A and B are shown apart, each in its own frame.
Chain A
Amino acid sequence: MATIDLKTAEAEIPVIELLKKAQEEHGYLSPEVLKVIAARTGQPLSKLYGIATFYSLLTTRPKGKYRILFCKNAPCHVRGAKRVLEAIVSYLGVEPGETTKDGLFTLELTSCLGLCAVAPTMMIGEDLYGNLTPQKAIAILEDYRARERSEHA
């Protein structure tokens, strides 16, 4: 421990933030991206892969255009999250962890989003939605679909 140069350690851009930036640019951390970072930082590829798979905000697989993070922790659960999730699963036709065929949505489960006062909740991209009911959740997803269609029209 005594051999660590504190000044260098403090000044270094933390590798986790490098990975986050790379992900923002490339969408996900592909093997190619990880190799480039390994070469640049001198860190072993295996270590970077270990980090990339440890943290939930990092991903080594491509995702849909919108990531739906659905909260299923107890505070949301006791206010009906399960029924909302079932409605989303049947509307999108995918299970948690999967991406819709049109590549628009990836449905993922998340731990508490810190919005439990308006449970049940979900996050789509950077947008937060609360007080969800099955109907409300479907309406929100339909909105995204409609927006997408009008963008392409």
Chain B
Amino acid sequence: MRNPSRHLLIPMDPYTLAKGAERVKNALEKALALSKLTDRVRVVETGTIGHHEHGVLLIIYPDGVVYGDLTPDDVPQIVQEHLQGGRVVERLVVRDIKIPPFHPQVYRAEKQVRLVLRNVGLIDPENIEDYIANEGYEAAARALTSMTPQQVLETVKESGIQGRGGAGFPTGVKWSFAAREKAPQKYIVCNADEGEPGTFKDRLILEGDPHSVLEGMLLAGYAVGATKGYVYVRGEYRMSIARMRKAIDQARSKGLLGDNILGSGFSFDMEVREGAGAYICGEETALLESMEGKRGEPRNKPPFPPQAGLWGMPTVVNNVETLANIPLIVKNGAAWYRSFGTPTCPGTKVFTLVGNVVLPGLIEVPMGITLREVIFDIGRGIPKGRNFLFAQTGGTTGGILAAGELDVPMAYDTLRQVGSGLGSGALLVVDDSNCVVDLVQNFVEFFNHESCGKCTLCREGTGRLLELLNRLTSGQAEARDIDLIRRLAVNMKRAAFCGLGQAAPTPILGALDRFEEIFREHAEAHYCRSGVCPMNAQKAA
């Protein structure tokens, strides 16, 4: 098959597989064989394109048609009418998914710019040739053969990229700390422990384009002088683990990992490590503890990982999305990268848009876009004629934005100014059928459950906060409870040992500042205006 006339893309991820994607694919291959089309089209199993609400999808290129909610029985009709007859099967078409053109370097659809997701949903993630055909490993080849480690480091520094794992620390600066250290061994660790509620971008990047992350790690290793990399993947992410392992094997067999890569004299190898289910292990020092085979409790900082990380050696910990950006930056240069986003926050951000929005899913937009554009243009607004109540950016530890803040630009610096943050990239939209107090209680349940128990303020503080919130939502509160909540939250923010306990108060205080009246109604009048909280419940907290 030298020149297939059509590409048929089938997104395969845990969800579509549960919906029968494998059976649809088998039916497709059978129907193609029957119609003697096998040589004229290419079936590509891809990662997800970011939409889950239409079950099993089949995308036909170059026609640009998306079929959805497919069962094996629908397949023969598509093959006969569309592939052979040239007529689109209207009854199966999904209209609200816009798909990118086939081989985009960058594509712009509805305010989206896909750099990190350039290949996700379009290539076969289990085939290294597909990645290479899309300019994959060009950056690594160029860096290893014609750039010094210092030049790679400078390029990343000048690009201004900030870590996408939550804190937004400048990646080039972090790398330079590790590069400066003299040590018998240095490590690159990819943080793929994604556990922030509402976040699934790292999973979809690993499932859809594992080689982009691998190449990013290779470049990081070259820049700082590390020869060993680990990808720490959340234990629940079975498919990410499998695809990353496969990608590593393929890269090794092509000589892109191992000794003396591409004759450059530089050696680098990689391994996958699996998590065992603990949100706190996403915190980088807890992650390192877990990798060393211990309970994942955070370490004291300093020393920071670039000075003393895994087994005490200099270690760069970077998020999946951060690393997936690196090949593009090295290949196209810092100035190119800076043409996206804002001057103080360059590049794009991958978000998972979740909650009460018409079109939830995975999106990638330039930094600086407003919340309004994301929710109402890309996400098509709030379903069922409801109204916007608030949004939470950055996952459960993220801040709260009310309707008056919909035009704040989404970037690390601008969101920080309003007491929120980009965090992990989760964007939760909440409509007015919900109660803000009930949601804050939900957030605190999460913190209480995930607190690792190492420090008293967070272990006991989350428990006491939960008791107070239970009182509020069950009609047992007193007026002074609101001040207790506020004081406890402020103290935790100041004195908790790690990022979890320090960030947990963010949504609590954010909600109190914006919706104090609603909290007061719960505390003083035992009244929930949305009718969500069971105020008459007699159960004590």
Binding site for B on A (CB under 8 A): 1-2, 4, 6, 9-10, 12, 14-17, 19-20, 47, 50-51, 54-58, 72-75, 77-79, 111-119, 126-131
Contact = CB atoms under 8 A, between A and B. Distances in A.
Of all A-B residue pairs in the complex, the 10 with the closest CB atoms, nearest first, are A1-B312, A114-B200, A56-B277, A73-B197, A55-B276, A57-B277, A112-B197, A116-B354, A75-B354, A15-B293
B346 interface: no
B14 A128 contact: yes
B198 interface: yes
Contacts of B292: 9, 14
A126 B426 CA distance: 24
9 contacts: A2-B312, A16-B293, A74-B392, A75-B197, A78-B434, A111-B446, A111-B449, A114-B194, A117-B53
A145 B292 CA distance: 42
Contacts of A119: 354-355, 360
Contacts of A15: 293
Contacts of B157: none
Nearest to A5: B311
Given A2-B312, A117-B200, 9 more contacts: A17-B274, A20-B276, A56-B277, A58-B276, A58-B277, A74-B392, A74-B442, A115-B52, A127-B18
A58 B278 CA distance: 10
B41 to A, nearest CB: 29
B54 to A, nearest CB: 10
Interface stretch (B104-112, B234-242, B462-470): B234-242
Contact of B199 (A19, A56, A58, A112): A112
Nearest to B450: A111
A6 B392 CA distance: 43
A112 B434 CA distance: 19
Nearest to B308: A1
A128 to B, nearest CB: 5
Most A CB within 10 A of own CB, among B185, B237, B295: B295
A64 to B, nearest CB: 18
Contact of A112 (B196, B278, B392): B196
Contacts of A72: 442, 445
Contacts of A50: 295
B361 to A, nearest CB: 5
B439 A78 contact: yes
B385 interface: no
B185 A6 contact: yes
A4 B439 contact: no
Interface string B215-252: 00000000000001000000111100000000000000
Contacts of A10: 228
Contact of B15 (A12, A54, A78, A128): A128
A116 to B, nearest CB: 4
A27 to B, nearest CB: 16
Contacts of B361: 117
Contacts of B197: 73-75, 111-112, 116
A130 B52 contact: yes
Nearest to A127: B18
B279 interface: yes
Contacts of B184: 6
Interface in B399-449: 426, 428, 430-431, 434, 439, 442-443, 445-446, 449
B70 interface: no
Interface of B: 14-15, 18, 51-53, 184-185, 194-200, 203, 228, 235-238, 273-279, 290-296, 308, 311-313, 352-356, 360-362, 392, 396, 426, 428, 430-431, 434, 439, 442-443, 445-446, 449-450, 452
Contacts of B52: 115, 117-118, 130
Most A CB within 10 A of own CB, among B292, B354, B360, B430: B354
Nearest to A18: B293
A126 B194 CA distance: 19
Contact of A117 (B312, B354, B439): B354
Contact of B360 (A14, A73, A117): A117
Given A74-B442, A111-B450, A112-B197, A55 B277 contact: yes
Contacts of A55: 235, 275-278, 296
A108 to B, nearest CB: 11
Contacts of B185: 6
A75 B428 contact: yes
B387 to A, nearest CB: 14
A111 B195 contact: yes
A70 B311 CA distance: 36
A14 B396 CA distance: 30
B290 A16 contact: yes
Contact of A57 (B228, B276, B434, B445): B276
Contacts of B428: 74-75, 78
B296 A116 contact: no
B15 A130 contact: yes
B355 A78 contact: yes
A69 to B, nearest CB: 9
B193 to A, nearest CB: 12
A114 B278 CA distance: 14
A10 B189 CA distance: 13
Nearest to B204: A114
Given A56-B278, A57-B236, A129-B18, A78 B431 contact: yes
Contacts of B51: 117
A20 to B, nearest CB: 6
B507 to A, nearest CB: 9
Nearest to A115: B15
A15 to B, nearest CB: 4
B442 A73 contact: yes
Contacts of B312: 1-2, 4
Contacts of B354: 75, 116-117, 119
A20 B236 CA distance: 12
